[in-house]
């Protein structure tokens, strides 16, 4: 079929009539399908059920250094867990703090600490007339929700195929002391699934911010979430680059096992410089006596070492790879060559990004919902949920079964075509 833009009004109307008939048929099937969040499916969760058996009432819950995991202590985490997460994050275990199950909670807590007490003795952000954050877009809605909660002004920075527009990032942080941070998902980004290039990472490490308390919030949520053994993105380790560049304190690096084991009971971690560590630990001493060491030990006993984790993630890939391929094949089959949308083909992570014709995203998502397919709200990938082009849609293929996903993506592509034709007809009539 030729591109829609090349069709006459009559041809478009004929195509629209056919698509509407198909849409009505799909609505009649009454399929409740949910693709609103990037969550693991049941088969993925089942991979970690062995964690429930590695510890029982007869288990030795003592660490190698003599720590009894049932008791208080070990503020920064048991050594075995710091070693395991250190290998996962490619950082020295001494530079890592182990937290509870959610890295999002750690990020919120970090912003909160900066807000009330400042960074390493600096002025608390709450006492400043204005605080700004850079937000690469499209980006992760929950990042934006944190800065929105604190009333932080969010400045959008366009994403490119190699990461944020670094010319703009460098200019903004150099010229504006009110800019205190930037959100980053550097590997298999949410929602594009792209990874920052070597040059991008090195430019981040060499930033010259006007604010001495500027920090990069480096959320490496998908560091091990590859889809293929033979095609994997590689990411330069940011803390080492910062140290080489003479900016050792520039980064807070976050990660977790949330999409590796159980999202509701994984372990999270923060890696950073010794100076930042001292600042954070001083705060933690007032906040807690230690996080869940039994769960930390459970993870260590289940995986054994980083090699066990790598093999575990291959099993995850075997489950979700066919889902990504199904979506990509459907998008190409139904929309390829029509000129009404573009999409990413990631090598890892949890999302596929779709860009419709401008002004169509909200309509597409609404039409999907009426046909039983719930998707992430259009605009969610922008601060305050406001996509200026109304074109960006995040597709989350992991949770549905293959059969449900096939139906869902068929409805999605149908809605894209209907919405696009209606827009093009309106433009021709105008």
Q: Which CATH architecture has domain 4-44+310-429?
A: Alpha-Beta Complex (3.90)
What pTM, to 2 d.p., does this model score?
A: 0.96
Residues written for the chain: 430
SS3 269: strand
pLDDT at residue number 35:
87
pLDDT at residue number 1:
80
The secondary structure element, H or E, covering residue 154 is strand 153-160
Residues 6 or more apart from 242 whose CB is under 8 A from it?
205, 248, 249, 250, 251, 273
Q: Under a CB-based contact definition with an 8 Å cutoff, are residues 153 and 133 in contact?
A: yes
pLDDT at residue number 36:
86
- Tens-digit pLDDT profile for residues 351-388: 999 999 999 999 999 999 999 999 999 999 999 999 99
Percentage of the residues of the chain whose pLDDT score is greater than 90: 96
Closest of 252, 282, 291 to residue 74, by C-alpha: 291
Rounded distance, CA 146 to CA 125, Å? 14
* Sequence ranges of the domains in the chain: 4-44+310-429, 61-304
Rounded distance, CA 244 to CA 376, Å? 40
Instruction: Provide the strand spans (E) within 31-150.
Output: 33-35, 96-98, 132-137
Instruction: Kindly list the distances between the CA atom of residue 190 and the CA atoms of 71, 179, 210, 326, 349, in Å, as whole numbers in the listed order.
Output: 38, 22, 28, 19, 8
pLDDT at residue number 430:
80
- Tens-digit pLDDT profile for residues 71-125: 999 999 999 999 999 999 999 999 999 999 999 999 999 999 999 999 999 999 9
Residues 6 or more apart from 203 whose CB is under 8 A from it?
166, 169, 170
Residues 13-31 have a mean pLDDT of: 92
pLDDT at residue number 29:
81
The secondary structure element, H or E, covering residue 163 is strand 163-164
Q: What's the token pair of residue 331?
A: 């998008």
Angular region, 84: left φ>0, alpha ψ -120 to 50, beta rest: alpha
Q: What's the token pair of residue 37?
A: 């969040």
- In the block, tokens 């670094």 appear at 166
Instruction: Kindly list the distances between the CA atom of residue 265 and the CA atoms of 37, 42, 135, 256, in Å, as whole numbers in the listed order.
Output: 18, 15, 29, 10
Q: 370-393 as b/e, with b when 16 or more CB fall inside 10 Å? A: ebbbebbbbbbbbbeeebeebbbb
pLDDT at residue number 66:
96
- Tens-digit pLDDT profile for residues 283-338: 999 999 999 999 999 999 999 999 999 999 999 999 999 999 999 999 999 999 99
Is-cis flag, bond preceding 314, omega within 30? no
SS3 343: strand
pLDDT at residue number 67:
96
pLDDT at residue number 30:
80
pLDDT band per the 50, 70, 90 thresholds, residue 349: very high
DSSP string over 361-425: HHHHHHHHHHTTEEEPPTTTTSGGG--TTS-EEEE--SSS-HHHHHHHHHHHHHHHHHHHHHHHH
pLDDT at residue number 231:
96
Closest of 314, 257, 281 to residue 97, by C-alpha: 281
Rounded distance, CA 287 to CA 289, Å? 7
Q: Under a CB-based contact definition with an 8 Å cutoff, are residues 7 and 425 in contact?
A: no
Residues 183-196 have a mean pLDDT of: 97
pLDDT at residue number 232:
97
Whether the per-residue pLDDT at 160 is higher than 90: the answer is yes
What's the chain's average pLDDT? 97
DSSP string over 15-26: HHHHHHHHHHHH
- Select from 3.40.920.10, 3.40.640.10, 3.50.50.60, 3.40.50.300 the CATH code of 61-304: 3.40.640.10
- Tens-digit pLDDT profile for residues 210-252: 999 999 999 999 999 999 999 999 999 999 999 999 999 999 9
Rounded distance, CA 372 to CA 33, Å? 6
pLDDT at residue number 173:
98
CB atoms within 10 A of CB 229: 8
Rounded distance, CA 251 to CA 181, Å? 9
Residues 21-49 have a mean pLDDT of: 91
More confident residue, 36 or 147: 147
Closest of 380, 361, 368 to residue 409, by C-alpha: 368
Whether the per-residue pLDDT at 175 is higher than 90: the answer is yes
């Amino acid at each position: 079929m030729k591109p829609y833009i090349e069709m006459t009004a009559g041809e478009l109307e004929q195509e629209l009539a056919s698509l509407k008939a198909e849409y009505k048929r799909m609505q009649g099937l009454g399929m409740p399908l949910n693709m609103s969040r990037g969550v693991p499916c049941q088969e993925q969760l089942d991979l970690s059920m062995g964690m429930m058996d590695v510890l029982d009432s007869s288990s030795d819950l003592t660490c190698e250094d003599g720590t009894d995991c049932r008791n208080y202590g070990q503020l920064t985490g048991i050594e075995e867990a710091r070693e395991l997460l250190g290998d996962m994050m490619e950082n020295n275990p001494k530079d890592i703090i182990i937290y509870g199950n959610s890295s999002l909670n750690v990020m919120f807590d970090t912003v909160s600490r900066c807000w009330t007490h400042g960074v390493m003795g600096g002025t608390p952000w709450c006492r400043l007339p204005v605080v700004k954050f850079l937000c690469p877009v499209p980006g992760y809605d929950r990042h934006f929700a944190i800065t929105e909660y604190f009333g932080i002004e969010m400045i959008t920075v366009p994403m490119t195929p190699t990461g944020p527009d670094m010319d703009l990032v460098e200019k903004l942080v150099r010229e504006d002391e009110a800019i205190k941070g930037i959100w980053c998902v550097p590997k298999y980004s949410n929602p594009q699934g792209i990874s920052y290039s070597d040059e991008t990472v090195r430019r981040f490490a060499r930033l010259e911010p006007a604010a001495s308390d500027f920090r990069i919030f480096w959320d490496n949520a998908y560091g091990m979430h590859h889809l293929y053994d033979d095609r994997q993105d590689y990411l330069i380790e940011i803390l080492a680059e910062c140290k080489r560049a003479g900016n050792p304190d520039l980064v807070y690096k976050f990660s977790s096992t949330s999409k590796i084991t159980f999202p509701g009971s994984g372990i999270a971690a923060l890696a950073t410089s010794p100076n930042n560590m001292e600042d954070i630990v001083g705060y933690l001493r007032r906040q807690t006596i230690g996080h869940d060491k039994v769960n930390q030990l459970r993870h260590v006993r289940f995986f054994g070492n980083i090699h066990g984790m790598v093999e575990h993630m291959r099993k995850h890939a075997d489950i979700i790879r066919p889902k990504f391929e199904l979506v990509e094949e459907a998008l190409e089959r139904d929309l390829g060559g029509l000129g009404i949308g573009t999409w990413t083909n990631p090598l890892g992570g949890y999302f596929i990004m779709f860009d419709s014709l401008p002004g169509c995203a909200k309509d597409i998502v609404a039409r999907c919902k009426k046909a039983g397919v719930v998707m992430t709200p259009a605009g969610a990938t922008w601060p305050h949920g406001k996509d200026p082009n109304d074109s960006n849609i995040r597709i989350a293929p992991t949770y549905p079964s293959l059969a449900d996903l096939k139906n869902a993506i068929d409805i999605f592509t149908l809605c894209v075509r209907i919405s696009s034709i209606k827009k093009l007809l309106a433009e021709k009539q105008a």
